[in-house]
């Protein structure tokens, strides 16, 4: 077997098998080998190795001990009723059945200790600062390229790079104002960043509604713990958007949320956020540009627009600048943006900073711009354009995770230990044909949390997407969206791939 070119601490973290938990929250038995997944030690966020409950989960563990399975089942049904009444759905493209689905919700919250959150908060803030500096640099002097740290071809030949942004200075120098950072945990103090979402990250509405549901379903449990609030997010979002209004704005900025429309998978969120922060939800045909300024059509006549929180992709923003066949955008919008008449949130071209190939350079990006060591680790990543690393990848696909550079939502990826021989062979050929189109990572031993399943409480793998707002200051909502892989042994947490969500409880002390 070829030697591992990424060998070193943390480079070969393996996926582990599932573990069932009995009704009092303690480990019951290991389920052994399934689907080619080797059983290894992993971090259980609730239980210590001896089966005792970790301190952050002490109160929750005591509560779970007193809950019959039927009570948890009823809470789950009540939660589903709440979400159906609110219409919290997402669309699954290509599904043969109805495209609208509820995201499964688990009634057992995830608990994060105050000290654990403080570490995450510092690491996230460091990361978003550096990535915004990186975006300014690559659209201006490109110092990081001239220093030989990031290859020029990786930037200028990347489909996410937006040449139209070269030389443009957005208000306050901020390119990505709304960011979701995907984080996984492998130990008590071991956190890895899986992805940086700097384009149009979604999921914050589910974070808010999950909290609302839990406060309704288990108010006594909620009040027993000192849980940091998340409900200030809409107000913080509005403050952030107001703070980046263009210099031409006088008075209170007029803010709109630009949506592709009701058939978009995240339309519920677009509507929800507009309503929560008192902004107007618009589609492209609701806006127009005249005399270099952006206006919204209303029953009272045109109203000037200052800030557009856009939830459409770069290519569709303006048919005069980007895709001429776009029916979603606003003709002339980009010229108005370049002229400083309106602010686009997030800025076009931010996708280059969350490109999966650029992701591998984020530790160097942090050191280059901030002169600091990264607080949060990247997942060790194989570069398939390197002959030695590609050879190792092809010989060890059964142990690795393959991701398309521009893939999202759990699509375009392969989890080697759970994949069939046929799928591994197909991905091997794809890598040989387009090595630049894929990154490959070790299969992490993702932490697990107690989750209520059809057969009772069981451990399930989770990740975390904290949400960050960057404007006059950096605001990080305590917690974020915990996504849970509901299928036994699965690593894929995306809702489009069968995952669910949990409320995330960050303790104040």
- Note the pLDDT of residue 100: 62
**Of 430, 487, 431, residue with least CA distance to 460:** 487
CA 380, distance to chain mean position in Å, is 19
- Which residue is it, tokens 């960043």? 193
- Name beta bridge partners: 47: 53
Beta strands per DSSP E along 39-168: 89-91, 100-102, 105-112
Residues of the chain with pLDDT under 70: 1-41, 89-101, 407-411, 491, 494-498
Residue 258 is given by DSSP the state E
Q: Are strands 190-197 and 178-187 parallel, antiparallel or unpaired?
A: antiparallel
The C-alpha atoms of residue 41 and residue 334 are separated, in whole angstroms, by 52
| pTM of the predicted structure, to 2 decimals | 0.88
Instruction: Give me the DSSP letters along 414-478.
Output: EEGGGS-HHHHHHHHHHHHH-GGGEEEEE-----EEEEEETTEEEEEEEEEE-EEEESSSEEE-S
Q: Which domains does the chain have, with CATH numbers?
A: 381-443 (3.30.1490.270)
Q: How far is CA 271 from CA 278, 375, 477, in A?
A: 11, 35, 20
Instruction: Classify residue 71 by burial, with Cβ atoms within 10 Å: 0-12, 13-18, 19+.
Output: exposed
What backbone torsions phi and psi does residue 434 show, to the nearest 5 degrees?
Answer: -135, 70
Cβ neighbours around 371 below 10 Å, total: 7
C-alpha distances out from residue 457 to 22, 67, 77, Å: 6, 11, 16
Q: How far is 306 from 155, CA to CA, in rounded Å? A: 30
Distance CA 244, CA 326 (A): 27
Look up residue 508 and give its DSSP letter: -
* Helix, strand or coil, per DSSP, at residue 107: strand
Asked if residue 392 lies in contact with residue 5, where contact means CB atoms within 8 angstroms, the answer is yes
CA–CA gap between residue 196 and residue 312 (Å, rounded): 18
What confidence score (pLDDT) does residue 35 get?
Answer: 33
Residues in CB range of 500: below 8 A, 6 or more apart: 103, 104, 105, 106, 483, 484, 486
pLDDT (tens digit, 9 = 90+) per residue, 221-253?
988 999 999 999 999 999 999 999 999 898 999
């Amino acid at each position: 077997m070829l030697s591992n070119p990424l060998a070193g601490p943390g480079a070969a973290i393996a996926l582990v098998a599932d573990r069932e938990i009995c009704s009092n929250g303690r480990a019951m038995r290991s389920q052994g080998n399934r689907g080619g997944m080797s059983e290894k030690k992993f971090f259980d966020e609730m239980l210590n190795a001896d089966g005792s409950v970790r301190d952050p989960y002490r109160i929750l563990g005591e509560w779970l001990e007193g809950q019959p399975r039927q009570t948890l089942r009823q809470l789950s049904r009540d939660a589903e009723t709440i979400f159906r009444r609110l219409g919290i759905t997402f669309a699954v493209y290509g599904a043969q059945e109805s495209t609208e689905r509820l995201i499964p919700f688990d009634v057992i919250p995830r608990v994060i200790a105050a000290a654990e959150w403080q570490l995450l908060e510092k690491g996230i803030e460091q990361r978003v600062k550096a990535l915004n500096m990186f975006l300014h640099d690559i659209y201006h002097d490109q110092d990081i390229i001239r220093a030989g740290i990031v290859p020029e071809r990786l930037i200028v030949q990347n489909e996410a790079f937006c040449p139209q942004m070269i030389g443009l200075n957005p208000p306050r120098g901020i390119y990505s104002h709304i960011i979701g950072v995907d984080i996984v945990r492998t130990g008590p103090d071991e956190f890895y960043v899986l992805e940086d979402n700097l384009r149009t990250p979604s999921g914050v509405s589910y974070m808010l509604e999950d909290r609302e549901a839990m406060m309704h379903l288990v108010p006594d449990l909620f009040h027993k713990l000192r849980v940091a609030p998340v409900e200030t997010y809409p107000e913080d979002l509005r403050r952030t958007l107001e703070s980046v209004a263009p210099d031409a704005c006088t008075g209170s900025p007029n803010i709109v949320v630009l949506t592709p429309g009701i058939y978009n998978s995240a339309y519920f969120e677009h509507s929800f956020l507009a309503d929560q922060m008192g902004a107007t939800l618009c589609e492209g045909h609701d806006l127009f540009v005249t005399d270099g300024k952006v206006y919204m059509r209303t029953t009272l006549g045109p109203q000037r627009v200052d800030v557009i929180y856009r939830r459409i992709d770069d290519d569709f923003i303006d048919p005069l600048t980007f895709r001429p066949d776009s029916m979603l955008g606003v003709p002339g919008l980009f010229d108005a943006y370049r002229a400083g008449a309106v602010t686009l949130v997030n800025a076009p071209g931010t996708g280059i900073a969350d490109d999966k190939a650029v992701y591998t350079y984020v530790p160097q990006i942090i050191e280059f711009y901030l002169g600091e060591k990264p607080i949060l680790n990247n997942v060790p990543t194989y570069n398939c354009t390197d002959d030695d690393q590609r050879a190792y990848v092809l010989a060890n696909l059964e142990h690795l995770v393959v991701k398309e550079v521009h893939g999202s939502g759990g699509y375009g990826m392969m989890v080697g230990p759970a994949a069939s021989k046929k799928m591994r062979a197909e991905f091997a050929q794809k890598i040989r044909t387009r090595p630049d189109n894929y990154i490959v990572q070790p299969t992490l031993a993702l932490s697990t949390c107690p989750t209520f399943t059809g057969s009772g409480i069981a451990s399930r793998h989770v990740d975390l997407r904290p949400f960050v707002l960057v404007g006059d200051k950096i605001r990080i909502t305590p917690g974020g969206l915990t996504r849970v892989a509901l299928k036994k042994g699965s690593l894929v947490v995306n809702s489009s791939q069968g995952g669910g969500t949990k409320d995330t409880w960050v303790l104040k002390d």
